[in-house]
A and B are shown apart, each in its own frame.
Chain A
């Protein structure tokens, strides 16, 4: 059955390559809005589904790209384990292939790591219709270049990611949420100070004078940290709801960000970066390293946001809304761009996979 699906994928790739036509890879379509405009004939991954291997004591799960994220998280939860990068769904139909290709991580990212940090292996269907295996199902592996991590966040531009192996972690024994009243500059300073101490912080979010902090770990560690940090304890149920809503951009901050007139930016900057662009509404995550900004969509604003992110030592992504003609992702330096083109040409010589989804020419 899965072999037939794979054969069908190969046929699609061969005919696209022969006709130099584009394929638009999608699973549940929950992140269709992310990246540049969609182009090409749809290639639906959802028939290629199923968990191939999962042994909780190995801390690794291997699944086909079309496997629903919800199925994976349910199977892990039954063993008290999790995808520690806390991937956003952005819709009920999210698949693990989409999680991997989009490279998006949730609130736990600053302390646990991103999708790429948990990528152990990937199987790729390249632009010639060949199946290539990179990495594996073991924690440590330095045989060959680490192409599976390169594929994480590649937006499907290098090929169809057929299968992934991810490291998983046990869920924390205890978790609690605290609230503090702090202005932006104080919150940034406080978060960086805490991050320099051995504290079980697993997520943070600042907005409009309030910092919300999540502690996760051994019960004793969480209790001790709570005493040390102070703050106001948020009831567990409200805390859980808050972090899920934040991950899914269901928080009120993210309302009205999906139009051409307004833009939601994701600024990825060093965590110590002083408050920037504070004329715009902001929500700060990842201990200061991820800053969500709501702006207008004028060309002037685009240029300013990009320049300020770059000056801070990071980059800016036009995450939702706005005018995508300005470019969703921060433009690349020429030498880096050349390597991107070479890699694209290596894996997808006929440029059939998600053309233009990341950058116009890739």
Chain B
């Protein structure tokens, strides 16, 4: 799996494209030698990689326009890329394509503390926005776990969330305006400085479109006041189902926690030796339940939530007494992925979302799949919004283990869809889950998505092989995966 990939383009085509790009960009903004392009062969999902033909790093919007126009004229597909932290292979290069990195567009253009907005270029890091806003008592709410590295352009592409999105929303709820370059080289403004815009809500459909509708060149984000204080409850349960029920009861009590995260025993035992967060490793599951706001508000919420958790059979409850302790409680959750990397040579992170009431059924299903595929799985769960991250542990150097991990993952996603959920809550479809799209959507719905793409990108050159499968691909996938004796695309011609 980790062997270097071979070039999948011809040198003649590479020479042609590089020659055209040299008219537009300084030489150091065009990479095509293998040692320079190798770092761009994958994003955060390293299992899927391809050597790019050319990588371009424009310094401004005018260069982006020129690159797009040239690529369109030469029919070269473009893969936009931010920091490359994505977990679904959305930035994996395309054979014969150009990778367009936006990291040099990294300026905070304006920050208005009174209007509580920041205008930023796409290569600005998520956390850099909050850092810049901090002196005004403001911050940018979505906090994906990669926030130290990931860029706002990538967040727009993926509609990124984080551990606080039950209360504060996703990228789509926190972005007011996107400026983008279309495949025709037009500059479009979706949204504006106000709360809505004239016409159809194109901003909503653009956010989360995985770089397939346009190249982002500027984003206006909302900044919100930093809460005065925050405290987190850590509660232990001797039964996973009881823990799930406790989550439902907290919500039923009328509280929207700022964060509500669940970890199963495999996860707590995985992270505790690594971060020493003080987790109860004998509990079947633990719940982290946070309140933020004014001091008075937080006291009221914590008391209410503690009462609910106790009534639901929590075997132990600890409330953070200071900021240091709060960060300690969170450190285990936030380090779950690296911890998986410590106890297992490789891991594969899934991202399904389910109606919370079906949690027990899904966890039971995953436990059975562990036996079926002979692989372990640790479950961390954004319990407030039903977003489950099973971490499938495997060793790529063992024959067949990656293949089994992939099948395991696909089966988890199929189960998520079966119980009324979705194949991806926040990581995106990318290249990784493109087959699973055929499980979730009908041929007509996929055709509609393709048409939406064509409405923005008639040339079909912007990240064209990601997120939305071709109907042919679904037909091929259908051959392998038969659900309940029914082939999902039975009426499609086979190729």
- Which residues of A approach B to under 8 Å, CB–CB? 55-60, 80, 103, 109-110, 113-114, 116-117, 126, 130, 132-134, 136-147, 149-150, 152-154, 157-158, 169-171, 173, 192-193, 195-200, 217-221, 223-225, 268-272, 286, 289-290, 312-315, 317, 329-333, 335-336, 339-340, 342-343, 345-347, 358-359
Q: Pull 29 A–B residue pairs with CB atoms less than 8 Å apart, ordered by A.
A: A57-B252, A103-B201, A134-B445, A139-B384, A140-B161, A140-B382, A141-B424, A143-B422, A144-B441, A146-B208, A147-B449, A149-B201, A170-B255, A192-B115, A193-B114, A196-B114, A196-B136, A270-B117, A313-B194, A331-B198, A335-B184, A335-B186, A336-B188, A336-B202, A340-B200, A340-B202, A342-B454, A343-B200, A359-B199
Contact residues, B451-469 vs A (CB, 8 A): 451-456, 458, 467-468
In the complex, whether B494 has a CB less than 8 A from a CB of chain A is: no
Among B205, B354, B456, point to the contact of A149 (Cβ < 8 A): B205
Q: Are A218 and B297 also in contact (CB < 8 A) when A146-B172, A192-B115 are?
A: yes
In the complex, how many angstroms separate the beta carbon of B188 from the nearest chain A beta carbon?
Answer: 5
Chain A residues, Cβ within 8 Å of B114: 192-193, 196, 272
A218: B residues at CB distance < 8 A: 293, 296-297, 300-301
CB pair B422–A138 under 8 Å, yes or no, is: yes
**A196 x B113 contact (CB < 8 A):** yes
Give the residues in chain A near B188, CB-CB below 8 Å.
Answer: 333, 335-336, 339
Closest partner residue, chain A, to B173 (CB atom):
A117
Q: Please determine whether B195 and A136 come into contact, CB atoms closer than 8 angstroms.
A: no
Chain A: minimal CB distance from B199 (Å):
5
In the complex formed, the residue of B with least CB distance to A130 is B444
Q: Are B202 and A143 in contact (CB under 8 A)?
A: no
Given A109-B195, A150-B204, A314-B192, decide whether A140 and B445 contact each other with a Cβ distance below 8 A.
Answer: no
Per-position contact with A for B157-172: 1 when CB-CB < 8 Å, else 0? Answer: 0110100011001101
Which of B12-20, B56-64, B222-230, B265-273 lines the interface with chain A?
Answer: B222-230
Find chain B residues with CB under 8 A from A289 CB: 194-195
B374 CB, nearest partner CB in chain A, Å: 28
Q: Does B45 contact A (CB under 8 A)?
A: no
Nearest Cβ in chain B — how far from A67, in angstroms? 20
When distances are taken between beta carbons in the complex, the residues of chain A under 8 Å from B353 are: 138-141
- A270: chain B residues at CB < 8 Å are 115, 117, 193-194
Q: Which residue of A has the minimal Cβ distance to B419?
A: A138
CB–CB B296/A142 < 8 A: no
Q: How far is the CA of A178 from the CA of B198 in the complex (A)?
A: 33
Residues in A with CB closer than 8 Å to B391 are none
B65 CB, min distance to chain A CBs, angstroms: 12
B221 beta carbon closer than 8 Å to chain A: no
Q: Is B26 an interface residue (CB 8 A)?
A: no
Q: Add 13 more A-B contacts to A270-B193, A342-B454, A346-B451 (CB < 8 A).
A: A138-B355, A138-B425, A139-B166, A139-B386, A143-B433, A143-B437, A147-B205, A147-B452, A150-B202, A224-B294, A272-B112, A345-B455, A346-B454
CA of A45 to CA of B275 in the docked complex: distance in angstroms?
57
Is the Cβ of A144 less than 8 Å from the Cβ of B255? Answer: no
The B424-444 residues at the A interface (CB cut-off 8 A) are 424-429, 433, 437, 440-442, 444
Q: Are A58 and B357 in contact (CB under 8 A)?
A: yes
Give the distance in Å from the alpha carbon of A360 to the alpha carbon of B269 in the complex: 63
- A143 touching B423 in the complex, CB below 8 Å, given contacts A134-B445, A272-B114: yes
CB < 8 Å: which of A132, A153, A221, A290 contacts B200? A153
Could you tell me if B225 and A196 are in contact, using CB atoms closer than 8 angstroms?
yes
Q: Is the CB of A143 within 8 A of B429?
A: yes
Are B296 and A269 neighbours in the complex by a CB distance under 8 Å? Answer: no
Contact A145 B355 (CB under 8 A): no
Q: In this assembly, does B137 line the interface, its C-beta being within 8 Å of a C-beta of chain A?
A: yes
Determine whether B256 belongs to the interface, using a CB cutoff of 8 Å to chain A: yes
Least CB distance, B440 to chain A, in whole angstroms: 6
Task: Indicate if the CB atoms of A272 and B385 lie closer than 8 Å.
Answer: no
Task: Tell me whether B355 and A58 are in contact (CB under 8 A).
Answer: yes
B182 within 8 A of A: yes
